[in-house]
Structure 1
């Protein structure tokens, strides 16, 4: 696997569909998922553990015991993936940011794990913008990338 996806959760119990999340995770062999629980006070961590039970070899869980900012939660997930797996690309999804869009986690995952063209475009974007000296600056927002790619495709003339 060469791609890592960090998904940041904080009190998102109502947004987690265990079966749908597990289905998307199992549908790809090129992505390693790191589910970061940012000190949730609801049943988020229990639901994430259910997902891990269904997809043990493709999912890791990082549980943060004290609430931290999005960059710190992203960094915790990236450090875990970077130190345990040989990944070249890492993207992240923050459910708090995702709630501000009209997209669901299910839609974003379906778009990103099943669309090989999207994965290739994101890799090219990271390679273009990532200074090789700082791995953490190369971590990109998958939600923003989906929005940008859709905007680009809408502007692109059809042949």
Structure 2
């Protein structure tokens, strides 16, 4: 019985040998992009349905309430772009095409704008963790594709620094050390 399980393990792992680096990247994309899409869509839906999840949420925001419809539109766009990236990864040869990279950058810029609004104008407590979770998700999903990783993380990373400077009116040395690491 022990021999059978050893043979099964060898057989199942033997099928996962990649011919080259591109094969490894294709397999990694097929596995990680659905997770990346799920996280982006989940957070966008939470923000989009904030009225249902948290009663009177919009009434608790006193500054810059005129941009709430824009935030809703951005969340809808995040959902669409996330689905499109997933669709392109599965329909096209499994790789990041220039179009996918542009969509990834736009996705990051939309999240960056919303994060800035959440942190600086409304000072919402979930804004910092949201930014960190988005960056960590991108790191886990895109670590093997450096350009895609940088296109998604750098705008969020710079937004975190800019938001900290806006809130504190200077660069807090502790935050700068954390930001740099």
Higher share in helix: 2
Higher strand share: 1
TM beyond 0.5 = no
Q: Structure with the greater relative contact order (CA < 8 A, sep ≥ 6): 1 or 2? A: 1
Which protein has the larger Cα radius of gyration, Structure 1 or Structure 2?
Answer: 2
TM-score for both structures, normalised by structure 2: 0.28
In the superposition, the TM-score normalised over structure 1's length comes to 0.31
